[in-house]
Chains A and B, each alone.
Chain A
Amino acid sequence: MAEKISQETVVKVSRLARLSLTSDEAEKMTSQLAGMLEHFRDIDALDLADVEPMTQPYPLKNVLRKDVEAPSLDRQEVLGQAPATESGRFRVPPTIGFDV
């Protein structure tokens, strides 16, 4: 398993997750995560080389749906729950940089 988690890594991860931690929070988070990850080292004792990962509890496949239209949600009901809207659309502050 990887090295002990650093506060620098915690800050980087918080940016990935769009969480803005205060420096106190980052410090506390680092120590808590480090403690947890230390505890989780127990699985390092296992030999997992030949083990298939399990991603599905129940083995289903080919679940498909027919291409038949269903009515849309009511725009007013939906936009009524939105933080900010304009001309039938959701309004957000600008991104810095180009549109991708």
Chain B
Amino acid sequence: MSDVAALPNGWQLIVGLEVHVELATKTKMFSASANRFGDEPNTNIDPVTLGLPGALPVLNQHAIELAMRIGLALNCKVQPCTFHRKNYFYPDLPKAYQITQYDHPLNVDGHLMLPGDVRIGIERAHLEEDTGKSTHFGGSSGRIHGSDYSLIDFNRAGVPLVEIVSRPDIRTSEQARQYVAELRSILLAVGASDAKMEEGSMRCDVNVSVHKPGTPFGTRCEIKNVNSIRSVGRAIDYESRRQVDLIESGGTIRQETRHWDDSTGRTETLRTKEDADDYRYFLEPDLVPLIPDPEWIEAVRAALPILPAARRLALAELCGVDKDGESALVVVERGQDDYVGAVISAGGDPRRSIIYVQQAFAEQGATPKVPAKDLAALTILERDAKVTSTQAKTLLTDLIDAGGGDVLAMAAKRGFETLDTSAVEEMVDAAIAAEPGAWQKYCNGEDKALGALVGAVMKSSKGKADGKVITALLQSKKNS
């Protein structure tokens, strides 16, 4: 997916992201009914969840623990905090107010690093409760506009959420996608959430504005209904162009919430109620302040796993690859970096170890079934040119299929023995003699002729000569 070209005419993009994350607790934020996705509607309900008269909230200790993990993993300060009511009417909001955090949130002033050492500030990561789910029926497009009625399921109401608000430090849609991806991997690493955008356990609202550098930030629009990492990029690309086009044609950006439509690839105005809602925030009188004691915070910090960025860095240094590159990203994402470390400890060639795992271990999960020493042995065989690259690929498949084994024996069984260099050199000389035309072209700088020569040697060696060795010999003969 290519990054869109920078905005025309010197316009700069400013993006901030608000990500809502459902926490992986057993029960809801303020009551003990189950926090479970996919159950029959309205089967995880209690007086608090339904906003029944007389119901009262009580904070879920584990939700606080997970929220602290998130905050600490994002380098936030964890502080004494309070809860507020945000008052508005909507059928999926059972009390007609949401309990959230307002001026004293749990986590503040953190940051997240993107590839290329780009630092995105995190303003806050606070606790709140989720709403129920509305489904709309009737209208032609399935959207509410003009539909006949809605049905509400309160299973999701009260599920614990952490809202992570970035500072408007993001400058490209690529960075936005990276931010979401990195945030997601952090959430998974600390066990705070399963962060599945397709199930709604991670939701992104995107704030977009444009300006010319040296001038104040422009009016921003909030975009909702962005349901995948890919959509994050597409929505930003569309919206930023929309704003630039509007300004350049003499219009002004209205501060509003817009709805992303993935099928049309456009954002549209969300027609809300006549008056903008006044949320009348006030301190939640049914709850008391949360002052996590320093011992608890330290215990959570100490128990944090090594985070993905640190793991990628360690892996990159171990294997000699780019910490922001594809192989480090993929291997850490799969949780296979410890395994790669084990392969290298068993004597494996570092670069080959990571590449084999990246390319062939997609199905293997965090604990691959191939014993580290076996894979290590294979990397050494290839490194020492005892097998060709092609043969090594075959042996890798064999190893995976068998769940390990003695690679030397496997190679022998397959009849893979590479020829040693002097034998190959004889064949190279023979091929030069047999293909003087190709040899001439190659010596004159036509690298395309190389292929014919290599092919000839391969043929006469019945595939036992390593292509890299052949090429190296031809090159050295050409240069001598």
A/B contact in complex, CB under 8 angstroms? yes
- Whether, in the assembled complex, B412 has its beta carbon less than 8 Å from a beta carbon of chain A, the answer is no
B-side interface mostly:
loop
Pick the residue among B25, B47, B59, B91 that contacts A90 (CB under 8 A).
Answer: B91
Q: A66-B62, A93-B149 are in contact. List 19 more A-B contacts (CB 8 A).
A: A56-B285, A61-B288, A61-B291, A67-B26, A67-B61, A69-B27, A72-B44, A75-B42, A86-B149, A87-B41, A87-B151, A89-B135, A90-B91, A91-B150, A92-B151, A94-B144, A95-B150, A96-B144, A98-B259
- Alpha-carbon distance A66/B283, docked complex (angstroms): 24
Mask, A58-100, CB within 8 Å of B = 1, is 0011111111111011010011000000111111111111111
Give B281 Cβ to nearest chain A Cβ, in Å.
Answer: 13
- How many residue pairs at the A-B interface have CB separations less than 8 Å? 146
B43 close to A86 (CB less than 8 A): no
A94 close to B138 (CB less than 8 A): yes
- Whether, in the assembled complex, B452 has its beta carbon less than 8 Å from a beta carbon of chain A, the answer is no
Collect the chain A residues with CB atoms within 8 Å of residue B138's CB.
94
B270 close to A100 (CB less than 8 A): yes
Give A60 Cβ to nearest chain B Cβ, in Å.
Answer: 4
> Which listed segment binds A: B1-9, B272-280, B304-312, B325-333?
B272-280
- Alpha-carbon distance A100/B143, docked complex (angstroms): 11
Give A16 Cβ to nearest chain B Cβ, in Å.
Answer: 6
- Alpha-carbon distance A95/B47, docked complex (angstroms): 25
Mask, B78-91, CB within 8 Å of A = 1, is 00000000000111
* Chain B residue nearest to A97 in the complex (CB): B271
- Whether, in the assembled complex, B40 has its beta carbon less than 8 Å from a beta carbon of chain A, the answer is yes
A94 close to B42 (CB less than 8 A): no
Collect the chain B residues with CB atoms within 8 Å of residue A63's CB.
58-59, 287-288
- Which residue of A69, A70, A86 has the most chain B CB atoms within 10 A of its CB atom? A69
Collect the chain B residues with CB atoms within 8 Å of residue A23's CB.
none
B42 close to A97 (CB less than 8 A): no
Collect the chain A residues with CB atoms within 8 Å of residue B154's CB.
90
